Structure formats: C-alpha cells, structure tokens
Structure 1
Amino acid sequence: MELSQLKMVNAVARTGSIARAAEQLHCVPSNITNRLKQLECELGTPLFTRVGRGLKISAAGEIFLGYSERILALVDEAKRALDDQAEPSGLLRLGAIESCAGGRLPPLLAQYHRRYPKVSVELVTGTWSQLFTQLQQQRIDGALVAVDTLPPRLKQTVLYHEPLVLISSAGSAPIHSASDLQGQHLFMWPQGCPYRHALENWLARHGLNLPITGYASWGTIIGCVSVGAGVSLIPEGVLERYAQSATLNIQRFSDLLPVDNRFVWHQDVQRHNARDAFARLLQEHLRA
C-alpha cells in the first residue's frame, strides 16, 4: 500500500470517474485502474462498484476512505511541522453554512487569494451537522458555522455576532412589533437551523406560536417574501447579498439577539499554515 494509491482512492471517490481523477492527479487513467486493482487485491475487497459510466464507492471503500484521508492529512501535517515558517501553500479545504458562504465570505476569499496565491482553496457548503461530520473525518480543514455545541475533537473560536433582521415585501403592511406577525406566513430554514431557533425563541418570548414553512435555501425564502407570500428572519450578511434583487421592508428589533458565527477545526491537526492564515484573516476582519 502506497500513498499514491491512497490519493487515487480519494480522487476517484470525489470525482466518481477514473478519467477525471487522472486529470486531477496528472497521470493516465490506465495507471489509476491498475493501481486500484492492485490495492483491492491487497485488501481482499472491492473499493468501488461501476454505476453506468462512472464509479461509486463501496461500503468497504467508505471505511477505507476515512482512514486514507486521515493518513494523508497526517502526512501533510508532518510536512507542515518541518516547515512551520514557510509561506502558506498547497490545498485548503473549507466548509461553510450557506449564510456565511453567500454573505460575509466571498470578499474574504478574494482577499485571501491575493494575499496567499500559492494556496488552492476548495469550498463546500452544507448544514452545520454535515460540516461537523466532514471535519471529524478530516475531509475539510476548517468550517464556518453558527452553532456553539461541538462534537468531540473539534475546537472553535467566535468570529462575529451576526445581526438578524425581519423582512417583508415592500407592499405589505408595516411590522412594528412581534404581535404584527399574527396571521402572517413565516418562511425559515428547516428544524435545526440556528437562525430558525432564534426566531422561535423570539416568538416564544412574545407569547406567539406561529407555523413556519421550512425551505433550505435563502434564495427561495427571500424570493417568497419579496412577492408578498410571507415574512422571514434572515442574517444581515445574507440581506446584503440579495438587496439588489428583492424589494423588501426591513425591520430591526432590539430584543432580536444576534447569532455567533464561529470558525471550527479538528483539534488533532495542530499545524496547518494555510488554515491558520485563513483563520487570522477571518479574525482580522470579523472578530466579534
């Protein structure tokens, strides 16, 4: 078993194709095919199954993939430990919830690219639970989330307090207090979203128990509100992204508490120049 074979397994698992994996690894497809067959013979089990013209990782392959990612991450950490003062370079795998990815993050990513051109950044979006799973499996190096309860082996730092605003369509009646929401249709992310939790807590403090329709997309939620279908509570950073495309009334309430956004990483990866440089950039511009 060689590190090059582990990289091949990871590339095929990500792309679902030997041809695309070969492009990423700058080798010929036949080399990957032969090396994977050798590895499967050594392990005594198939790592992939063919589905149409592509490949899907097998149940045994999923188990092996978790170990291979950890091994490769440990190898990278060993290299970084010997060159701790070097300029950040290599691959940085980031995750973010949609409100961060579409709100505060884009200008910071652009600045990071200018400051550290030798770093190649990969960004995935997902729910906080999905991102925590990827962090625990060391499939990503860091994540931006908005929850404060962490699974084992993850560490965090608070970056900024995200203000929350209530939005309604420009043609609807003004909303001056929580009681004005009676009879309104509320749109929010599904259960588990920290912003939905903030909305439910705010309504409960005012003695309101209103039905909420869950959509897992800020674009869909804001689109429904802008055409007068109802109201929603959104992070201010998301509002900035959609302000040009939606006609909205915006209300701020002093008792609507902000939500803390946090940067999270795996505690076992103590040194990661590219990740640590990104964390410093986040703190420089977003520190609460």
Structure 2
Amino acid sequence: MELRHLRSFSVVARTLNLTRAAEELHYAQSSVTEQIQALEAELGTPLFDRTGRRLRLTAAGGRLVDYAHQVLALVEQARAAVDEQPDEPTGALVLGALETLCAHRVPALFTDYRTRWPKVGVTVEQGDRGYLYDAVRRGAVDVSLTFGAAPTDPALASEVLAHDRLVVVVPPGHRLAALDEVGAEDLRGLGFLATPPGCGFRAMLEDALLGDVVIEAEVASLAAMCGCVIAGSGCALVPETAARDHVAAGRLTAIPLRGKHSRTAVTMTWQRRSAGRPSVAALLVSARAAFARQPVA
C-alpha cells in the first residue's frame, strides 16, 4: 500500500471532489483517479460510490479513513522525530484544548513555549473532549488539555496538571447568591442550562445533583451558557475558570459546589509514542511549568 495512494484517498475522502483534491495535491485529476483505482484494486473493494454526480464513501471507504489518517500522521511524526534535534525542537506541533482552557490557560502556555522554542510552528485547535481525544489518537493533535479524566487507552498517556473548582453560576440577587456553598439538596428543582448528553460537563452536572436535575435548555458552549445565565435564562454548573471574568465584573455570582464532586481535573493527554519527539516533550514540560506557576482553584 503506497503512501501517495493513501494521501490521495484521504484528501478525496475529505473533499469528495476529484477536482479540488487534485488542486490540493498538485496532481492532474487523472493521476488522482488512477491512484484511487490502484488502491481499490489492491484492497479488492470500491472505496467510493461514483453513481450520480457526487462522490460518496462506501462503507469500506468510511472504515479506511481513520486508518489512513493514522498512517499518514505516523509518517509525519517519524519524519519530525528524525529531523528534530534533542536540544532544539523544530517542526510543527498542534495543541488542542477545550474552549474555556483555550481562552484562559492556553495563551500564557502558548506565549512561553513560542518564546523558548521559536523554531516550532504551533497551531492551537479548539474542540470538545470527544473530538480532542480522537484527534490525539489519530495524530491530528499532539497534546490536548481537557477537564475530567482521560479515557483508558493503551496508546495514550495522560497527566493531571491541576484541579478546578466547580461552581453554580446565578445572576446577582438570585436566592442562592447569599450562600457560601451549595449541595445537591440546595439545587433540587432548579432549572439548569446544560451541555448536550455525552459531554463531560453534562456528566459532572448529573453527578453533582445525583441524577436529579431539571434541564431547561442545552447549550454547547460554556461561554454561551454563562451569557445565558447573565441574561436570566437559568443557572449552570461550570468550572470556576469559565466564570471568573464575569464574577469579577459583577455580572454573575459563583457559589462553590459542596461534596465529592466539587472539583474537576485539568488533564493533559498525548500519544505515548510521540513523547520522544523533542517538540512534544518540550510542550509537556512547558505545560507542567505553566500550571505550577498559576494553579487553578
């Protein structure tokens, strides 16, 4: 199986357009078609459905996509590992993080890392936990920063950098605003804004309220959720970091959660095999130092 065939397949699978794929790959369209046909012949099955005017992935093509991404990412990692010098990281690196961490914790880490290692081209990518863990597995993201525990996966390594306190945010003047802390018994019957099912923050809310939670509406973004609370649309459970600026400005009141579910981990995750790359190893060191200098609540 030739790498150029996998690379062409990956681009065609993403664009579902031979003309655009050929332009991106800097090949003639006929060359891209020949490479796809050669890969299909080698695998003994069609990878694209060519009926009608649009390309569609077949079931086999859909299954191949992730493997193609992993192989191509691994080749790039191998090339980077060979090219980099241990005492002078170079190349490209992708740091992925949740929205709240991108806004509040990544800027200082990004600036420190770029100052120390200017020859590394750093890209910061934002996504939810599921996307980020999958991207780390595929090699599309080198290191991710998330809230909560990392998934159990022998290919991944993870480390808790800090813990952030969970708080219930309400508008100033709300009946909970005068409390020093709240527990499940204080929150029963209140309408909460929540992230969609499957999101880590939704699970944190359900754990905190022992499953007895009234969901007023689902909001995918913590920043948007805080904005909705400010506008009077309910209350929400968020990491204190997400609400800190609004609390300082007097737009929200944050009441710490009481009990065993009162904190969430800030977790760094990476591929075990990538830790030998100087650029990745340097980022792990920089992240530990950044969180040690400015620990969260």
Q: How big is the shift at 1:259?
A: 0.9
Structure 2 length as normaliser, TM-score?
A: 0.76
Structure 1 length as normaliser, TM-score?
A: 0.78
Q: How big is the shift at 1:262?
A: 0.9
Kept in 1: contact 2:194–2:202 (CA 8 A): yes
- 1:98-177 equivalences under 5 Å are 98-109=99-110, 111-113=112-114, 115-121=117-123, 123-126=125-128, 128-148=129-149, 150-153=151-154, 154-173=156-175, 174-176=177-179, 177=181
Which amino acid letter does the alignment assign opposite residue 58 of structure 2?
Answer: S
Kept in 1: contact 2:46–2:60 (CA 8 A): yes
CA distance in 2, matches of 1:191, 1:82: 42
Matched, 1:238 2:239: no
Matched, 1:184 2:190: yes
Matched with 2:221 is: 217
Q: How big is the shift at 1:6?
A: 1.9
CA distance in 1, matches of 2:40, 2:124: 29
CA distance in 2, matches of 1:136, 1:122: 17
Kept in 1: contact 2:230–2:251 (CA 8 A): yes
Kept in 1: contact 2:164–2:240 (CA 8 A): yes
Matched with 1:6 is: 6
Gaps of 5+ in 1: none
1:72-109 deviations in Å (ceiling 9; x for gaps): 33333433443452543444344433333344224534
Q: CA RMSD in A?
A: 3.5
Q: How big is the shift at 1:249?
A: 2.1
Matched with 2:289 is: 284
CA distance in 1, matches of 2:107, 2:206: 29
Moved more, 153-162 or 186-195: 186-195
Matched with 1:66 is: 66
- 1:77-92 equivalences under 5 Å are 77-85=77-85, 87-92=88-93
Kept in 2: contact 1:46–1:60 (CA 8 A): yes
Gaps of 5+ in 2: none
CA distance in 1, matches of 2:31, 2:252: 56
Q: How big is the shift at 1:243?
A: 6.6
Q: 1:147 to 1:251 in 2, by over 3 A?
A: closer
CA distance in 1, matches of 2:248, 2:11: 39
